[in-house]
């Protein structure tokens, strides 16, 4: 088990990639803090982990709400006394071409994807510094490397989480903390629900592997980066996209 007894926070863990990560981390022996704005969703994931014989805790938290993040962190410290892993996975899209994008659409995506990642990491960093250990994983996207049609707001956040991660990798490496980013390609989760069928089909055709990725295929990479197997991986940006942009 790669993550035995590691205290892990996964944001956006009620669905999709975050849910797959919560289950994978539990299979690898981690104690999983299942964090999401969707309360019924987190309860469901925690139940699944408990049924597998794993340990998980429900945290209904909005990553844009500093007080609720701080309350989560203090509850985790009271119960476990440490935090080993933070996966900043929560994210939303709200697409429009630039000339049609509203300021509200822009601000909301920045708030969740970028500021949420900052707030969660800010809330745990002193704990990891005091421990002299930790692994932080930011979920970016291939859109955070290449940009995308209709995604001015999302691209800004996904470039941004890479920029923050690289800064943390430089600042925190000497404190025994590693920071890395994962850039999923097209992964079959509900985030793709607003996309028309023909756009999804076109996505599949573009991928050399000729299919969408599965949430578990991202979760496996999170688990590697979180584990001691990745002890010399710091500041890395890892594309997990079936080779869609080669
Ligand atoms: P999803 O929509 O299935 O899951 C996202 C989760 O984040 C949901 O459970 C949602 O409730 C939660 N969430 C949203 N706002 C929140 C908030 N304010 N506070 C706490 N939780 C919140 O999406 P998916 O696909 O699993 O996405 C996970 C991450 O992967 C996101 O950061 C996304 O941008 C990224 N990603 C996904 C890709 C895909 O094709 N599915 C491609 C590239 C990146």
CB of 154 closer than 8 Å to CB of 113: yes
Ligand 1 centroid to residue 174 C-alpha, Å: 31
Annotated active-site residue 154? The verdict is yes
Among 177, 159, 82, smallest CA distance to 117 is for: 159
| Catalytic, out of 80, 118, 146, 154 | 154
- Quick check: is 76 in a domain? yes
- Tell if the pTM clears 0.85, that is, is over it: yes
Residue 140: which domain range?
A: 7-237
Ligand 1 pocket mutation pick from 91, 139, 222 by most atoms within 8 angstroms of CB: 91
Both tokens assigned to 168: 């943390």
- Quick check: is 88 in a domain? yes
Residue 23 has a pLDDT of 98
Which atom of ligand 1 lies closest to the CA of 185? Answer: 42
Ligand 1 centroid to residue 19 C-alpha, Å: 10
- Quick check: is 199 in a domain? yes
Which atom of ligand 1 lies closest to the CA of 18? Answer: 26
Query: Domain count of the chain?
Result: 1
Residue 246 has a pLDDT of 84
3-class secondary-structure state, position 135: strand
Distance of alpha carbon 22 from alpha carbon 147, whole angstroms: 28
Q: List Cα–Cα distances, 86 to 98, 108, 165, 191, 213, in angstroms.
A: 33, 22, 12, 21, 23
Residue 245 has a pLDDT of 87
Distance of alpha carbon 116 from alpha carbon 57, whole angstroms: 20
- Quick check: is 244 in a domain? no
- Here the CATH number for the domain that contains residue 20 is 3.40.50.720
Phi, psi of 189, rounded to the nearest 5 degrees = -140, 175
Show pLDDT as tens, one digit a residue, over the chain (246 residues): 999 999 999 999 999 999 999 999 999 999 999 999 999 999 999 999 999 999 999 999 999 999 999 999 999 999 999 999 999 999 999 999 999 999 999 999 999 999 999 999 999 999 999 999 999 999 999 999 999 999 999 999 999 999 999 999 999 999 999 999 999 999 999 988 888 899 899 999 999 999 999 999 999 999 999 999 999 999 999 999 999 988
Instruction: Name residues whose C-beta falls within 8 Å of residue 110's C-beta, 6 or more positions apart in sequence.
Output: 153, 156, 157
- Quick check: is 215 in a domain? yes
Considering all CA atoms of the chain, what is the largest pairwise distance in Å, rounded to the nearest integer? Answer: 51
- Quick check: is 243 in a domain? no
User: How many residues are given for the chain?
Assistant: 246
Ligand 1 pocket mutation pick from 23, 120, 189 by most atoms within 8 angstroms of CB: 189
24 class by beta-carbon count within 10 Å (0-12 exposed, 13-18 middle, 19+ buried): buried
- Quick check: is 51 in a domain? yes
CB of 32 closer than 8 Å to CB of 25: yes
Distance of alpha carbon 244 from alpha carbon 212, whole angstroms: 10
DSSP letter assigned to residue 212? P
Residue 132 has a pLDDT of 98
Phi, psi of 186, rounded to the nearest 5 degrees = -90, 110
- Quick check: is 48 in a domain? yes
Which helix (H) or strand (E) is 35 found in, with range?
A: strand 31-36
């Amino acid at each position: 088990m790669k993550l035995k007894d590691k205290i892990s926070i996964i944001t956006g863990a009620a669905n999709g990639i975050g849910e797959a990560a919560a289950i994978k981390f539990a299979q690898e022996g981690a104690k999983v803090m299942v964090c999401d704005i969707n309360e019924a969703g987190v309860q469901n994931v925690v139940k699944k982990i408990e049924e597998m014989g794993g340990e998980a805790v429900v945290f209904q938290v909005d990553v844009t709400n500093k007080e609720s993040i701080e309350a989560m962190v203090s509850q985790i410290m009271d119960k476990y006394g440490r935090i080993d892993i933070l996966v900043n996975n929560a994210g939303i899209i709200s697409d429009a071409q630039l000339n049609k994008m509203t300021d509200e659409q822009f601000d909301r995506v920045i708030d969740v994807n970028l500021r949420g990642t900052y707030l969660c990491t800010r809330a745990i960093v002193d704990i990891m510094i005091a421990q002299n250990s930790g692994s932080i994983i930011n979920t970016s996207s291939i859109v955070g490397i290449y940009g995308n049609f209709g995604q001015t707001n999302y691209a800004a956040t996904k470039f941004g989480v890479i920029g923050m991660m690289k800064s943390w990798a430089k600042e925190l490496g000497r404190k025994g903390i590693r920071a890395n980013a994962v850039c999923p390609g097209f992964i079959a989760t509900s985030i793709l629900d607003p996309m028309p069928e023909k756009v999804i089909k076109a996505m599949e055709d573009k991928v050399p592997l000729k299919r969408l990725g599965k949430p578990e295929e991202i979760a496996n990479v999170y688990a590697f980066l979180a584990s001691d197997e990745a002890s010399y991986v710091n500041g890395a940006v890892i594309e997990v996209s079936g080779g869609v942009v080669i």
